[in-house]
């Protein structure tokens, strides 16, 4: 069975493909962040985390979330600006 049925319009197939690509990209980013945090913070693997490791992981997660929020705000701002620019151009053309 195909992921993109032949009866669906090309736009639908493209949208589904883009959504799948976004999901995979997000999962890869999260996996990379987890790996970096683990390699950085867990220096002596054992059955439990030391207080130093817990603190390090907590701080890494805080920095990751801060960076994520900055990127998110910037991206949403860019989209909003592009929409305003497109609306302005539509008014000029008419």
CA distance 63 to 59: 6
How does pLDDT run along the chain (94 residues), one tens digit per residue? Answer: 455 555 555 678 888 999 999 999 999 988 999 999 999 999 888 999 999 999 999 999 999 999 999 999 999 999 999 999 998 888 766 5
* C-beta separation of 21 from 4 below 8 A: no
* C-beta separation of 12 from 25 below 8 A: no
Residue carrying the six token digits 């059955």 = 47
- What predicted TM-score, i.e. pTM, was given to this entire model? 0.63
Q: Which domains does the chain have, with CATH numbers?
A: 10-93 (1.10.287)
* C-beta separation of 24 from 33 below 8 A: no
């Amino acid at each position: 069975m195909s992921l993109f049925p032949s009866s669906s319009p090309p736009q639908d197939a493209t949208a589904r493909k883009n959504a799948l690509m976004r999901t995979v990209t997000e999962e890869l980013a999260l996996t990379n962040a987890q790996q970096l945090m683990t390699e950085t913070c867990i220096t002596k693997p054992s059955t439990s985390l030391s207080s130093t490791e817990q603190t390090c992981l907590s701080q890494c997660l805080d920095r990751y979330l801060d960076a994520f929020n900055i990127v998110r705000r910037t991206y949403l701002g860019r989209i909003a600006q592009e929409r305003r620019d497109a609306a302005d151009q539509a008014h000029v053309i008419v």
